[in-house]
Chain A
Amino acid sequence: MPTPRSRFLGRGESGDDAAGGTAAPMDVSADKQRINRRMFLKITGWGSFFITMGVFLAGTLRFLFPRVLFEQPPTFKIGVPGDFFSGGPDLQDGHIRVYEQWKKEHAVWIVREGRRLYAMYAKCTHLGCTPNWFPEERIFKCPCHGSRFYSNGVNFAGPAPRPLDRFGIFLAGDGRITVDKSRIYRFRDFDKQGAYLEV
């Protein structure tokens, strides 16, 4: 039985005598001498082949991830706080107003609930269709499978498993409210900072 070390022997060398049979510890310098020209060419040849293929594979993978996307930027601005908080009786807790003007372009409802402002993702949490807002009934209905949501996005009928998700919302340096669609908050994170804006 050849030991694993005998794999490093060139053909025609009598390595079996030295390495075979017993697992006797061998001198490291003796091992080094056994990398002969044939072995060296084999290692460098296959080594450079696999390195080339590896670099080619890595480059191909990188190629599939473009640097520039022709998609909408993930953030957009919706105005200053004064546009949504004019003061007055509707600032009481529980009073909800749904702003629909950003739905068509950004798939976002801006919802003001008392002093809180949040950006609700207009995408059903069931399978991703776009629900509709019915101002008379004050509920959202999904046309695909009949899920329904209250005006604050909480589901109460149909197959939707959780309330509508919310996007990150913050006050930018220029004083305007900015919605960040790359940050999505689910129900358990609705009270986290960034999921709402309070004035």
Chain B
Amino acid sequence: MSRKKSLWKRVRRSQVWRSVFRHDYTDTRRNRILQIRSNIFLHIHPARIPSHAGRIRFTWCMGGITFFLFIVEVITGILLMFYYRPVIEYAYQDMKYLRFDVPFGIILRNIHRWAAHLMIATVMLHMLRVFLTGSYKPPREFNWVVGVNLLVVTFLLSFTGYLLPWDQLAYWAITVGANMIRATPFIGHEGPFALVDRYHDIRFMLLGGTEIGANALLRFYVLHVIVLPLAAAVLVGVHFWRIRKDGGISRPL
């Protein structure tokens, strides 16, 4: 017992341990602050939580639930990437492979899908709550704008993910969606004040062609797994940071 304890002490005193945990655990006010300030996860989390933050009837915890769903999407999405190939010859087969043969594939795919649907709902409910409680008012105007950007990124994540199963539903839904992009002013070839033809407009840039094909599938995949999640992660970081800088979590008046 004593030897075990001394080993534990030696580990705690080693340079490796102390390089990670820079202070001891003695429960003093100074250490409590140090523990938070020297740990990135605790540092992102507010140092102090006001008691009104626990009143779930006010905030509905919708932002938190949305963030939780985003984490779920990232984890299940990474796992799905191990089997899915964004090539027209394989995409549909890989989706069916995941559904019918890969162990736990069907539940992973369904978690990913339902969490995506839920995320749209919670993101909009979060927006509704912020609107109803007036939490967009100064000094939180900028964070509202960041939130609107996050809403758009969430919609785009759903839109790009919709094509990836490469079935009839996906193909025609994206066909209709991509046809709407033709009507973009100035940079859409059928929009008002169109400046470009169908080979140089915004729809062509998104699809990598004039129709939904191999390029479109690959582009949507890259947007879905790299570009948009990265954008969402950066915006979420700014969003959370601004909550603290703008006076902490919204409170009942």
Query: A residues within 8 Å of B by Cβ?
Result: 61, 64-66, 69-71, 127-129, 182
* A65 with B205, Cβ < 8 A, contacts A70-B214, A71-B213, A182-B198 known: yes
Mask: chain B, 202-236; 1 = CB below 8 Å from A; 0 = not:
00110011110111000000000000000000000
The minimal Cβ–Cβ distance linking A108 to chain B, given in whole angstroms, is 14
Whole-angstrom distance between the Cβ of B115 and the nearest chain A Cβ: 29
Contacts of A70 in B (CB 8 A): 209, 213-214
Measuring CB to CB, which residues of chain B are less than 8 angstroms from any residue of chain A?
172, 175-176, 179, 198-200, 204-205, 208-211, 213-215
- Measured between alpha carbons, how far is A122 from B104 in the docked complex, in Å? 42
In the assembled complex, the CB of A93 is this many whole angstroms from the nearest CB of chain B, namely: 33
With known contacts A65-B200, A128-B175, A71–B210 Cβ distance under 8 A? yes
In Å, the complex CA distance between A138 and B205 comes to: 40
**Which residues of B have CB within 8 Å of A66?**
208-209, 215
Quick one: closest B residue to A61, CB to CB?
A: B205
Residues on A with beta carbons closer than 8 Å to the beta carbon of B213: 70-71
Q: How far is the CB of B246 from chain A (nearest CB, A)?
A: 31
User: A residues within 8 A CB of B210?
Assistant: 69, 71
Residue of B nearest to A66 (CB): B208
Chain A min CB distance to B16 (Å): 41
- Are B205 and A128 in contact, CB atoms less than 8 angstroms apart? no
B201 — nearest CB in chain A belongs to which residue?
A: A65
Closest residue of chain A to B180, judged by CB? A127
What are 8 contact pairs spanning A and B, CB under 8 A?
A: A64-B205, A64-B208, A65-B199, A66-B208, A127-B176, A127-B179, A128-B176, A128-B179
Q: Which chain B residues border A61 with CB–CB below 8 Å?
A: 205
Q: Which 6 A-B pairs have the closest CB atoms?
A: A64-B205, A127-B176, A69-B209, A128-B179, A71-B209, A128-B175
Which residue of the partner chain B has the closest CB to A181?
B210
Chain B positions within 8 Å of A182 at CB level: 198
Chain B residues within 8 Å of A64, by CB: 205, 208
Cβ distance A197 to chain B, nearest Cβ, rounded Å: 23
Given contacts A66-B208, A69-B209, A127-B179, 16 further A-B pairs with CB under 8 A are A61-B205, A64-B205, A64-B208, A65-B199, A65-B204, A65-B205, A66-B209, A66-B215, A70-B209, A70-B213, A70-B214, A71-B211, A127-B176, A128-B176, A128-B179, A129-B172
